[in-house]
Chains A and B, each alone.
Chain A
Amino acid sequence: MSKMVTLTIDGIKVTVPEGTLLVDAARQAGIHIPVFCYHPKLEPAGMCRMCLVEIGRPMIDRNTGQPILDENGQPKLQFLGKLETACTNTVSEGMVVFTQSEKARQGQKATVEFLLTSHPLDCPICDKGGECPLQDLTMAYGPAQSRFEYEDKIHLAKHVPLGDLIYLDRERCILCSRCIRFQAELVGEAVLTFDERGRSSQIVTVSDPPFDSVFSGNTTDICPVGALTTADFRFGARPWELKAAASICSQCAVGCNIVYNTRREARSDGRIVIKRVLPRQNEEVNDLWICDKGRFGYHYTESRARLTAPRAEGRPVSWEQALQKAAEGLRSASQKALIASGRLSNEDLYTLKRLADHLQMPAYLYTPIGGGEWVRRYGLSTGSDLSALGKGDAILVVASDLYEEAPLWYLRVRQAAERGAALIIAHPRTTRLERQAPHQYVLRYAYGDEGEIIERLRREAKIAQTLHEARNLVIFFGNEGMGLEQSESLAAACADLLVETGHAGRIHNGLIGVWPHPNAQGAWELGFQPIFDLQPLFETMDALYLVALDPFGDGWVRQNGRKPFLIVQDILETATVRQADVVLAACAYTEREGTFTSGERRVQRYYPAVPRYGDSRPDFAITAALGAKLGLNLEAQSAARLFQEIAGAFPAFKGLDYARLAETRPQWPPTGRADYPFSGTAQPNTQGMGKILSAVAEGTMTPLPPTMQKESLRPEEGTLLLVPIHRLFDAGSLLTPSALLHGRIGAPHIILHPKTAQEAGVTAGEKVLIEWEDRQAEALVKVEEHVPVGVGLVPRSMGIPLSRAARARLHLAERVR
């Protein structure tokens, strides 16, 4: 423990650890020292000069080292004669601070007056108005009248796009550099900087493409003025018109805590709609941040492709008719199966599993990554927290590009590495984490050699030693280049490594699957099984109940003559919906409540944000109604009661209920209205920080030494190996409705090493025809050095229906024509 220091701020005695910044110490004592450039998550810059205070330090006798006392026996204080910044001075024993003295107030007033000389004061049309630190601190500390001649005011560009998603208003910018420092310090991507100097200083982006970061939206939360606004929200609504609903982001398995801000508005036909997404503080999950996919990807919930009513044989029907038809289809089928995805809540999946058991049909999980069974046993357990990892700990990331697949994990892993954790990355190519994190060991292997990764880690002396000696070990695994079977074997090997190195079954230790869906872990926990190959199911089953998946659109299956009776339950019109015999219209997760289990095995609640679309219903309610037709009595009304059933049935969930999931713990930094100047507009967490599931027999089951059941394809001389990769911004049906992301999504493309491109006779920017197996697709060529030679990387869900690695040929599209 660090030494504690006691000081006096505005007459209040405060005791904090040595090294604490004065501004933080004051805040802990409930004293708000005004700040613009300071942010508790960033290194202090001392630039804005808003936090000027008077600091007195006890005079120390040089000979005795003791404080010099005055005639009253009190330590004599020495003041510097000028004001000092509370954000750059650390506390010291006996310090006496005045934040509201006449002199301090004069200094603070001066800073506001100076800032306002260059500020347009266009609050009436500014998006930040109503939640603006400059506005608030001007009211609290500023002069009521300006002495600055209006005609001397500098006028600057007000609509400067910094990339597709963020706009800069140069007039409003007070040059605090929070955005620059957020990108450089926290994310490790110095994509913003100052250009020019003095009053001509301006924020510019220096990356190509501009503002090349998936965390860009966070800069608008910490911008203390209306200078940075999102393309999504700007001029969209006033903050005080918005209502807030606590939720969990559904774009990946991290489970970022968010808030949906909603408003009823005329231009949406009087509906209540989502206006923006803000991060909701959870220092155990996402701190104060979310990624741009989470912030801007919600528009699918209001897509024109939303299913508003059930259908049978292509025609809208009543719920009664649709359910009757679906029930008949299931009842009459001798071979039937249920396939569901991790987009569904625990309550939905539990209900579906009950129905599947009742009908004695298998319940499959639609997932490109296997191994959830191992995560269930060797995942994180109650009380674990990635932010507890640092010096002495190790993090292993295997076959996953966290930046593209789970950005907040990228951020947290990078931060753990910054704190001193050893980072071991095993990946076939260079990923951003490798470029931007310290303390790392890299294991490069060839595509197809996934089966050897863990063995090779054991053989690398330095890495093996690090793994064994690590106080805590967390392993992330993905599926780059692998099929489902291989990723399952990899998970088993990772679990084996945890056991071997003595890390299994301990808090802050465990296996994390980088699932693409928010609740895949929930499905694994609730007993869903992976399905290695969907195509045979579609060729042999009599009936299939598909919930929240689009295998036709994803290219995982194709229509081959015989077709089972298809019941498709989803929220959007998809290629699979178009094949359905019965369509059951589910409502989006934003329109109901439920829980997701994140990849860290953290169960978290989300709450309804907007009313249901059309005649759509929650998935669990639909399944319960279907069950009712098939002689199964299921809870159809209350997600909370369903969760109670889960807690009763599954030991890992024991003791949890909605009330416990809604519990919060005190967090630093403080957030909320009064702290907007301090920590930004990330929302306080009042509706639950979630709970990590308890351990399931960890340590008692040793995984078998893994054997690759099936070899993956390897690059070979003279051929091209196509490998599907995950990109954050893909053209999936859930993301394309967010029009502002189209620039980030781009066109279907294939990424080649310059040498491979040369051998294939293609160059960057050309359109090529890719042929593999019996399929083909067109794509633009991108050439990047980090791709292994002989490999073509093809992003998933980008219009090229490649579900697993395959050998391929390339032709120039022009030549083909």
Chain B
Amino acid sequence: MSQYLLLRHREIPEISRLEVYRQHGGFEAFQKAVTTMTPDQVTEVVKASGLRGRGGAGFPTGLKWSFMDRKSWPHYVVANADESEPGTFKDREIMEGNPFQFLEGVAIASYAVGAQRAYIYIRGEYQHIARWLDEKIAEMEAAGLLGEKLFGTDYSLRIYTHLGAGAYICGEETALLESLEGKRGQPRVRPPFPPTFGLYGKPTVVNNVETLTNVPLIVQNGAEWYRRMGTPDAPGVKIFSLSGRVKRPGNYELPFGLTFRQLIYEYGGGILDDRPIKAIMPAGASSSLLRVDDRVLDTPLDYVALRQFGSDLGSASVIVIDDTVSIDWVIQKTIRFFKHESCGKCTPCREGTYWMKHLIDRIREDGKEEKQVKLLLDVARQIQGKCLCALGEFSTMAVVSGIERFPEDFRETVLEGVPG
């Protein structure tokens, strides 16, 4: 078996060419689905495979598809390619290197939920990828893989790309839909969820790029085959975006169940200057900081494993922090990011991130007064559980976990006298 299921371009450099992709079995799964399976059968296979959403929440993909409201039409599929989490860069590599497998996944998902229109919402900075995908979509249309009456059936499908305008919030699926509709990218009140009320108020499946890229192989090889990889909780493979103080940062496609130790030391080559590892942010800037010990390093990773340490795998954007980095600096970075990206719709996030930004700046400038640190922790907790969407929640993760788990980095310091 080849080493890669998703990042196959690393083995087959020309796989972004249609004929090469097809030589390697490309679009057989799509054809198989459309010509030999009912939409529900496709959904069942994906359900049985145990595939879970790779965008961060880990929601079972097939289950999501089965929620589509069958009383309301048309249905839409939207690929979430608004990859904006700091530390996440996996979707970019998929779309750049192995675009057809992703597009085939979009096509199969569309067939499974009865959508004849699919949209790929791509972050604005990935403009070149949008153009690139447009070319690939055109090639598929020319080859009869997209368009009217595909493979001689009554099924028709068109795929469109749409560029975002530089807002992190548009990775949140309802904000994404608003933005796709041409409105301000702000999250909607949920419920109703997109499978009931999505794009233009119609049932919509929103899936991450990596999730969809798994789909062709599952349909082609079956659920059993897929379940052989990974853990029972999280079958299959995952792309880990590894960054921070490691020797070899990058994307690593590995089966669930491996450990941080393997990822960081075996694949990432260990810590820069071989210094001790101090903390891990497993899910980018939205992570609760893990205080690293052997237990953390040796826990097999899946969607539930990290909960025992008060964190989450999320999109597996693993940022490694060593002992040269002070946690107050880390949370200043994340607060600034979330303050900048808060959409402003709900009060706790809009006002809370602004407040936290001023507090952390003061803490870092004025020497970590205990009162200020306590207030920062209070404000972060006060934001929690009150926001309209998850972004507000995310803004507090590093703050609360950082202050609680690394108290030594927030002890009052006597500022060195400034001359004059």
- A-side residues, CB < 8 A to B, are 44-50, 52, 81-83, 85, 88, 107, 110-111, 113-115, 117-118, 147-149, 152, 154, 174-175, 193-194, 196-201
Tell me whether A110 and B348 are in contact (CB under 8 A).
yes
Tell me whether A199 and B386 are in contact (CB under 8 A).
no
The distance in angstroms between the C-alpha atoms of A712 and B362, with both chains bound, is 77
Kindly specify which of B40-48, B81-89, B260-268, B337-345 makes contact with the partner chain: B337-345
Q: Which of B167, B347, B354 contacts A47 (CB 8 A)?
A: B347
Chain B residues with Cβ below 8 Å from A194 are 184, 344
Q: Does chain A have a CB within 8 A of B151?
A: no
Q: Does chain A have a CB within 8 A of B387?
A: yes
Closest 5 CB pairs of A and B: A201-B344, A82-B385, A114-B351, A198-B342, A46-B189
Tell me whether A49 and B387 are in contact (CB under 8 A).
yes
Contact with A along B349-392 (1 / 0, CB 8 A): 01111110010001000000000000100110010011110000
Q: Which of A82, A110, A193 contacts B184 (CB 8 A)?
A: A193
11 chain-A/chain-B pairs, Cβ below 8 angstroms: A46-B189, A47-B388, A48-B346, A48-B347, A49-B346, A49-B348, A81-B385, A111-B348, A113-B382, A118-B354, A199-B353
- B-side residues, CB < 8 A to A, are 167, 169, 184, 189, 339-348, 350-355, 358, 362, 375, 378-379, 382, 385-388
Q: Which of B344, B347, B379, B386 contacts A200 (CB 8 A)?
A: B344
Chain A residues with Cβ below 8 Å from B184 are 193-194
Q: Which of A45, A83, A200 contacts B189 (CB 8 A)?
A: A45
Q: Which of B342, B346, B348, B358 contacts A152 (CB 8 A)?
A: B358
The distance in angstroms between the C-alpha atoms of A110 and B339, with both chains bound, is 18
The chain A residue with its CB closest to the CB of B362 is A149
The chain B residue with its CB closest to the CB of A153 is B358
Tell me whether A110 and B350 are in contact (CB under 8 A).
no
The distance in angstroms between the C-alpha atoms of A201 and B362, with both chains bound, is 24
Q: Which of A110, A111, A199 contacts B344 (CB 8 A)?
A: A199
With A88-B189, A154-B354 known as contacts, the answer to whether A198 contacts B382 (CB < 8 A) is: no
The distance in angstroms between the C-alpha atoms of A114 and B383, with both chains bound, is 9
The chain B residue with its CB closest to the CB of A196 is B344
Write the nearest CB–CB distance from B187 to chain A, whole angstroms: 9
The chain A residue with its CB closest to the CB of B352 is A114
With A83-B385, A147-B375 known as contacts, the answer to whether A114 contacts B189 (CB < 8 A) is: no
Besides A152-B355, A198-B354, 8 more A-B contacts (Cβ < 8 Å) are A114-B382, A117-B355, A147-B378, A174-B347, A193-B184, A197-B342, A197-B343, A199-B354
The distance in angstroms between the C-alpha atoms of A416 and B379, with both chains bound, is 46
With A117-B355, A199-B351 known as contacts, the answer to whether A47 contacts B341 (CB < 8 A) is: no
Tell me whether B386 and A117 are in contact (CB under 8 A).
no
Tell me whether B354 and A117 are in contact (CB under 8 A).
yes
Chain B residues with Cβ below 8 Å from A81 are 385
Tell me whether B388 and A198 are in contact (CB under 8 A).
no
Q: Which of B339, B355, B358 contacts A114 (CB 8 A)?
A: B355
The distance in angstroms between the C-alpha atoms of A194 and B342, with both chains bound, is 14
Tell me whether B339 and A198 are in contact (CB under 8 A).
yes
Tell me whether A49 and B347 are in contact (CB under 8 A).
yes
Tell me whether B385 and A175 are in contact (CB under 8 A).
no
The distance in angstroms between the C-alpha atoms of A110 and B385, with both chains bound, is 11
The distance in angstroms between the C-alpha atoms of A151 and B325, with both chains bound, is 30
Tell me whether A198 and B189 are in contact (CB under 8 A).
no
With A113-B382, A115-B347, A117-B351 known as contacts, the answer to whether A199 contacts B342 (CB < 8 A) is: yes
Chain A residues with Cβ below 8 Å from B189 are 44-46, 85, 88
With A49-B388, A52-B386, A107-B386 known as contacts, the answer to whether A197 contacts B354 (CB < 8 A) is: no
Chain B residues with Cβ below 8 Å from A114 are 347-348, 350-352, 355, 382
The distance in angstroms between the C-alpha atoms of A197 and B183, with both chains bound, is 13
Write the nearest CB–CB distance from A42 to chain B, whole angstroms: 13
With A46-B189, A49-B387, A194-B184 known as contacts, the answer to whether A199 contacts B350 (CB < 8 A) is: yes
Chain B residues with Cβ below 8 Å from A175 are 344, 350
Write the nearest CB–CB distance from B376 to chain A, whole angstroms: 11
Chain A residues with Cβ below 8 Å from B343 are 197-198
Write the nearest CB–CB distance from B4 to chain A, whole angstroms: 38
The distance in angstroms between the C-alpha atoms of A50 and B358, with both chains bound, is 24
Write the nearest CB–CB distance from A177 to chain B, whole angstroms: 8
Write the nearest CB–CB distance from A154 to chain B, whole angstroms: 7
Chain B residues with Cβ below 8 Å from A46 are 189, 346, 388
With A49-B388, A152-B358 known as contacts, the answer to whether A198 contacts B348 (CB < 8 A) is: no
The distance in angstroms between the C-alpha atoms of A199 and B354, with both chains bound, is 7
Write the nearest CB–CB distance from A134 to chain B, whole angstroms: 12
The chain A residue with its CB closest to the CB of B381 is A110
Write the nearest CB–CB distance from B185 to chain A, whole angstroms: 8
Write the nearest CB–CB distance from B26 to chain A, whole angstroms: 40
Tell me whether A115 and B346 are in contact (CB under 8 A).
no
Write the nearest CB–CB distance from B37 to chain A, whole angstroms: 29
The distance in angstroms between the C-alpha atoms of A560 and B345, with both chains bound, is 67
The distance in angstroms between the C-alpha atoms of A110 and B382, with both chains bound, is 6
Chain A residues with Cβ below 8 Å from B358 are 149, 152
Chain B residues with Cβ below 8 Å from A197 are 167, 169, 342-344
The distance in angstroms between the C-alpha atoms of A280 and B129, with both chains bound, is 57
The distance in angstroms between the C-alpha atoms of A149 and B372, with both chains bound, is 11
Chain B residues with Cβ below 8 Å from A148 are 355
By CB atoms of chain A within 10 A, which of B169, B339, B347, B379 has the most?
B347
The distance in angstroms between the C-alpha atoms of A46 and B382, with both chains bound, is 18
Write the nearest CB–CB distance from A224 to chain B, whole angstroms: 12
Tell me whether B353 and A198 are in contact (CB under 8 A).
yes
Write the nearest CB–CB distance from A687 to chain B, whole angstroms: 38
The chain B residue with its CB closest to the CB of A176 is B347
Tell me whether B351 and A118 are in contact (CB under 8 A).
yes
With A49-B346, A49-B347, A193-B184 known as contacts, the answer to whether A198 contacts B386 (CB < 8 A) is: no
The chain A residue with its CB closest to the CB of B344 is A201
Write the nearest CB–CB distance from A152 to chain B, whole angstroms: 4
The chain B residue with its CB closest to the CB of A147 is B375
Tell me whether B386 and A111 are in contact (CB under 8 A).
yes
Chain B residues with Cβ below 8 Å from A152 are 355, 358
The chain A residue with its CB closest to the CB of B375 is A147
With A47-B388, A147-B375, A152-B358 known as contacts, the answer to whether A198 contacts B350 (CB < 8 A) is: yes
Chain B residues with Cβ below 8 Å from A193 are 184
Chain A residues with Cβ below 8 Å from B378 are 147
The distance in angstroms between the C-alpha atoms of A82 and B348, with both chains bound, is 14
Chain A residues with Cβ below 8 Å from B382 are 110, 113-114
By CB atoms of chain B within 10 A, which of A81, A113, A118, A199 has the most?
A199
The distance in angstroms between the C-alpha atoms of A45 and B169, with both chains bound, is 17
Write the nearest CB–CB distance from B267 to chain A, whole angstroms: 37
Write the nearest CB–CB distance from A174 to chain B, whole angstroms: 8
Write the nearest CB–CB distance from B97 to chain A, whole angstroms: 33
The distance in angstroms between the C-alpha atoms of A174 and B343, with both chains bound, is 14
Write the nearest CB–CB distance from B175 to chain A, whole angstroms: 11
Chain B residues with Cβ below 8 Å from A88 are 189
Chain B residues with Cβ below 8 Å from A85 are 189
Tell me whether B344 and A198 are in contact (CB under 8 A).
yes
The distance in angstroms between the C-alpha atoms of A82 and B340, with both chains bound, is 26
Chain A residues with Cβ below 8 Å from B387 are 49
Chain B residues with Cβ below 8 Å from A82 are 385-386
Write the nearest CB–CB distance from B338 to chain A, whole angstroms: 9
The distance in angstroms between the C-alpha atoms of A82 and B351, with both chains bound, is 20
Chain B residues with Cβ below 8 Å from A149 are 358, 362
The chain A residue with its CB closest to the CB of B378 is A147
Chain A residues with Cβ below 8 Å from B347 are 47-50, 111, 114-115, 174
The chain B residue with its CB closest to the CB of A82 is B385
The chain B residue with its CB closest to the CB of A113 is B382
Q: Which of A44, A47, A118, A198 contacts B340 (CB 8 A)?
A: A198
Tell me whether A201 and B386 are in contact (CB under 8 A).
no
The distance in angstroms between the C-alpha atoms of A550 and B355, with both chains bound, is 62
Write the nearest CB–CB distance from A394 to chain B, whole angstroms: 26
Write the nearest CB–CB distance from B341 to chain A, whole angstroms: 7
Write the nearest CB–CB distance from B285 to chain A, whole angstroms: 16
Chain B residues with Cβ below 8 Å from A198 are 339-344, 350, 353-354
The distance in angstroms between the C-alpha atoms of A199 and B340, with both chains bound, is 9
